[in-house]
Structure 1
Amino acid sequence: MRKAAALSTAAALALAATSGVAAMQSPPKAEDVVGNASQVELRDGLDTGNLSSKRITMAYFQRIFSLDRPREELTPAEQKAADAMKAGAPAGQSLRSIIALNNLAMAQAHESDLRYRAGAPLGPLDGLPILVKDNIETKDAMATTAGSLALKDNITGRDAPIIARLRAGGVVILGKANLSEWANIRSDNSISGWSATGGQTRNPYALDRNTCGSSSGSGAAVAAGLAWAAIGTETDGSITCPAAINGIVGLKPTVGLLSRTYIVPISHSQDTPGPMTRTVRDAALMLNAMAGSDPADAATKEADARKVDYTAGLKPDALKGVRIGVMRYAAGFHPGTDAEFEKALAVLKAQGATLVEVKEFPNRDKIGGDELIVLLTELKADLNSYLASTDPLKVKTRTLADVIAFNKANADKEMPLFGQELFEKAQATKGLTDPDYIKARDEAKRLAGPEGIDALLKADKLDALVAPTLGPAWLIDPVLGDRFVGGGAGGAAAVAGYPHLTVPMGSVRGLPVGLSFVGAAWSEARLLAYGYAFEQATHARRMPSFLATISE
């Protein structure tokens, strides 16, 4: 359904661009309005009247048309809109970070402008457009596909509760971001950032390099300035990996702080949505808007009691007197990344933190095998439940078994590069009452949480743990697939359901690398404060240059 939604949007944009809707004589130059703008800058423009939500939304669309798809792949209406805006992606310079554009975005922006004119904006995010990973439902006329052609008509008319919360604050839903298909759970040999619906997402720092996944489109689009913020989801690494690889901030919250209702699932034990932004403050603002209990998601029963104002502790001196554990076991995998990590540690120390060496994580090797049992067992149960909730006239695949059969029948489109062996293993699992699953679930949680992260924090009276998130982006390789470098910083946090924040740390030959902050359950405010202090001391993030290859 990407074409239909984009067609309606493009027609509206073409009309606005050519007729001067809302007193605009010509469409704004995207680089003058959005580009690297944060919430503070955009909101200041709205408050002063120098910007309008329609102008901001138009500017993001212009930037999308300029960077995300080559002109020859646009529909005729999209081409008309792009021509009116004098926008068009040069040959070979296309990110493919967005699957669908929202045909109601300009109308939502107009409603926001009316509120500003009346002096009654709904909150700090009113009028600001965001992108939503395409495994999260919105009631706009866009399918929620999880990147799969099996869900190409999955227009549900439902807002996920996190979207409803954002919408209640006046946020404009700009469109749906590309992702690793089925959130990267289909195959061990997948290529992160690829989906049958959206194609291969590319890294804006070097277009021949990967974006990581599964929130690949969210990461690339925010890095490229196609939106000031996006929502990703994570089961294990799917927010923090693409955030670090694309040089932005990503927060995987405590499982249960944000609702998972109407999000295409993998695992109820580990799944969570989270914010992906260019600054820590923006991530905190997004978290403020999304956090809260949902009666339909039992994991969120404590959320209302646990949530706080996540911007309150964002101070440049937040690291003073803090005890930080240095996860040496999660470093040492790449010389360039290690060099940036040592610089980061020096900054933490200079900002008043006490650093304590943590050489090993207890029972780390035992967690991975148990985690896989949990993920595959829960994937079958949870995906079957989700598919059963969709419209049978629009979604013919009603179970995981149906999806497997669909992929086989459409292998030329769905499996041209890699297979679905993890789906097949998940289909063979025995259900949520299987003793082996229950044992694996309980043991993984215990080893990762109480006997892992909690034990490390308690042993040395630590406030948080740090490590490199992972190494720089690897080349997109349809033959060998993904080649992750490092990545041990957040695995335990994912399994335990604990928060994990990544913040730009530096770069290796122009490719970003991130610094991870990991803490106990419900410690998001603390981690964001530490990340903010580090961010303000370093200003490590750099805008991408959209190089064809890093050798340039």
Structure 2
Amino acid sequence: MTGTARSIGAAIAARTVKAVDVTTWYLQRITRLNDGPAGLNCVRSLSPLALAQAALADAELEQGRWRGPLHGVPFLVKDNVFTADGTAASAGSRALADFVPPYEATLVRRLREAGAILLGKTNLTEFADFVSDTMPAEFSGAGGVVRHPLGHRFGRGLGSSVGSAAAVAARLCAFAIGSETQNSIQAPALHTSIVGFKPSVGRVGCHGVVPLVPSQDSPGPLTITVDDAMLVYRAMAGADAGNEQAPAARPVGGWRIGVPRSHMADAADPASNRAFAQALASLANAGAEIVDPCDLPAAQQLSEVRSSVFRTEFKESLNVLLQAHRPGGIASLQDIIDWNQLHPEAIPYGQSLLEAANATAGTGASQYVADRQRDIALSLDQGICAALAAGSVDVLLVPMAVAARCTGKAGAPVVAVPVGQDETGLPFGVTVFAAPGSDELVLAAAAAIERVIGRRMLP
């Protein structure tokens, strides 16, 4: 199955292939490539309802009911997302490994309503990478180690949606859902040479998603193309996404693109920056107007700032969820910490971040309020918005995920686009971003950029 989500959906709609056959193909591929001692281990569980739902999708088409371009298209979701198929939602924690949620996440319901077929769940960095400051992205107590489909490693800080990214890169699904608080969609996407889209915070509902930092959390799609990312986003987004008019498609020559250099592009490693220079030259040759540099006034402060927002919101929001469901009698972050202390084999890298979060005083504390206000001021008022205005540009473009701290704090939309490899042979890509609320604009710009420089490394 080598097509995009859109082309697979079109084939199912044309009834040249059945949804059951497509679903069976993916399930067999998961068994072959995911399982066993040499497997990718990116898929944690399979939905027992997948084939029945695929059969229903075929029956609906026979009756003349077509739900849209994702009708019958199989997908996977990150294991911090609630589903109503009897499978657990562990968030990667062994303490929550058997927690079966009592309801389904809004985003899953929306995708089901669009006709998509849930295959199962993907492994993630435990608690979206908020357990230990030394734990690599590939690890979780519940799921073990996710192996990289290109033969590399998901090291420290490479984002928690590693299972979803690996599954898409290895073609274990037509698309997958991840979530990002700071870099957890864009970084895994770039390092596996696929597309990742983090919508503006609030555009995709987080009800039924285990929280990390609610003011920054945003679920989004990992796909083969930007067009697929648009397709999935429009199916899963909330009603407010309809308020933004989708811009007309236009070639890259119609775009004015800013390049933040100070403490962003210039902070990338030399191999990435040489590949980035080639990418910019290709875009300019294709007619794009490149404004370089187009710096964020607060870029240096952003690179140096330390904030209490992550640990404060994590404790408060996780406690609310645990108190509501009490999985296995666990009702608080303190209970998680206590469980881990009794089962040290589940946390081989320790739990320093959990303990730091547990020591916070809540979102009413003056330190949290000041930190959150500063984060917004630096990332938006003196950051993204200031750069867009000063350069009179449509979007901003950087190599790899070097702007992730800024886009995370700002709640801004980001598209990761693969651009082949750098001179060392590692996957290379760019991220396109703009102000919160400009999701359709950023997707359109990314699609234009992809047409000129987009190139995947294949497993």
Range into which the TM-score falls when normalised by the shorter chain: over 0.9
- For residues 437 and 172 of structure 2, the distance between their equivalents in structure 1, rounded to whole angstroms, comes to 31
Q: Partner of 1:324 in structure 2? A: 257
- 2:409 is aligned to 495
What is the TM-score with the length of structure 2 in the denominator? 0.95
Amino acid at match of 2:359: A
Is contact 1:147-1:195 (8 Å) kept? yes
Percent identity of the aligned residues?
36
CA contact (8 A) 1:95 1:207 kept: no
1:355 equivalenced with 2:269 (yes/no) = no
SS in structure 2 at match of 1:142: coil
Shift of 1:251: 0.8
8 Å contact 1:490–1:518 — kept in the other structure? no
The range that moved more, 521-530 or 534-543, is: 534-543
Q: How far apart are the structure 2 equivalents of 1:39 and 1:223?
A: 13
Whether the 8 Å contact between 1:444 and 1:495 is mirrored in structure 2 is yes
Query: Residues 296 and 386 of structure 2 are in contact (CA less than 8 Å); yes or no, is this contact kept in structure 1?
Result: no
Equivalent position of 1:45 in the other structure: 11
Aligned pair in 2 of structure 1 residues 368, 538: CA closer, same or farther (>3 Å)?
closer
What's the offset of the Cα at 1:126? 1.0
CA distance in structure 1 between the partners assigned to 2:253 and 2:318 by the alignment: 45
The residue that corresponds to 1:109 in the other structure is 54
- 2:206 is aligned, of 249, 260, 279, to 260
CA offset at residue 209 of structure 1?
5.5
Aligned to 1:407: 340
Post-superposition offset of 1:233: 0.4
Q: Which residue pairs with 1:534 in the alignment?
A: 449
Q: What amino acid is aligned across from residue 25 of structure 2 in structure 1?
A: A
Q: 1:218 to 1:433 in 2, by over 3 A?
A: same
The within-5 A match list for 1:333-372 is 333-358=268-293, 360-367=295-302, 372=307
Q: Which amino acid aligns with 2:131?
A: R
RMSD over equivalenced CA pairs, Å? 1.8
Aligned amino acid, residue 120 of structure 1: R
Pairing 1:65-464 to 2, within 5 Å after superposition: 65-70=31-36, 92=38, 94-208=39-153, 210=155, 212-293=158-239, 303-304=240-241, 306-308=243-245, 313-315=248-250, 317=251, 319-329=252-262, 330-332=264-266, 333-358=268-293, 360-367=295-302, 372-390=307-325, 392=326, 394-412=327-345, 414-416=346-348, 418-464=349-395
C-alpha deviations, 1:402-455, integer Å up to 9, x for none? 11111111111x112x11111111111111110111011011111101121100
Is the partner of 1:367 in helix, strand or coil? helix
Contact 1:102 1:140 in 2 (8 A): yes
TM-aligned CA deviation for residue 522 of structure 1: 1.1
Q: Distance in 2 between matches of 1:292 and 1:40?
A: 21
TM-aligned CA deviation for residue 305 of structure 1: 5.2
Task: Return the offset for 1:491.
Answer: 1.7
Runs of at least 5 residues in structure 2 that lack an aligned partner in the other structure: none
Equivalent residue pairs, number? 455
TM-score, with normalisation over the residues of structure 1?
0.79
Counterpart residue type for residue 403 of structure 2: A
3-state DSSP class of the match of 1:395?
Answer: helix
Give the AA of the match of 2:5. Q
Deviations 1:279-316 (A, max 9, x none): 001000011001114xxxxxxxxx2553455xx6444x
Assess if the C-alpha contact under 8 Å between 1:240 and 1:252 holds in 2.
yes
Aligned-partner residue type, residue 186 of structure 1:
V
C-alpha distance 488-538 of structure 1, shift in aligned 2 (>3 A):
closer
Residues 184-215 of structure 1: per-residue CA shift (max 9 Å, x gap):
01111111021111111111111556593200
Map 1:446-525 to 2 at 5 A. Answer: 446-469=377-400, 487-508=401-422, 509-525=424-440
Checking the alignment, whether the CA contact within 8 Å between 2:13 and 2:66 is kept in structure 1 is no
State which drifts further: 282-291 or 115-124.
115-124
**Alpha-carbon distance between aligned partners in 1 of 2:439 and 2:282, rounded to the nearest angstrom:** 21
Give 1:289's aligned amino acid: A
C-alpha deviation, 1:49, in angstroms: 2.1
Aligned AA (2:416): T
Query: d(CA) in 1 for partners of 2:395 and 2:409?
Result: 17
Structure 1 residue 363 displacement after superposition: 2.7
Shift of 1:41: 2.2
Tell whether the 8 Å contact from 2:295 to 2:387 is kept in structure 1 after alignment: no
The C-alpha deviation readout for 1:525-546, integer Å capped at 9, x for no partner, is 11111111122223411321xx
Aligned equivalents of 1:48, 1:359: Cα separation in 2: 47
Q: 1:308 to 1:97 in 2, by over 3 A?
A: farther
Structure 1 contact 387–398 (Cα < 8 Å) conserved: yes
Distance 1:190 1:503 in 2: 26
Greater shift, 403-412 or 366-375, is seen at: 366-375
Cα drift, residue 358 of structure 1: 2.5
CA distance in 2, matches of 1:440, 1:370: 9
Shift of 1:359: 6.1
Report if the CA contact (8 A) 1:490-1:516 is conserved.
Answer: no
Say which SS state the counterpart of residue 320 (structure 1) adopts. Answer: helix
Please state whether the residue corresponding to 1:514 is helix, strand or coil: strand
Secondary structure class of the residue paired with 2:54: helix
Q: Which moved more, 1:225-234 or 1:146-155?
A: 146-155
Q: Which amino acid aligns with 1:203?
A: H
Give the secondary structure class of the aligned counterpart of 2:254: coil
Structure 1 or 2, whichever has the larger Rg, is 1
One-letter amino acid of the structure 2 residue matched with residue 276 of structure 1: L
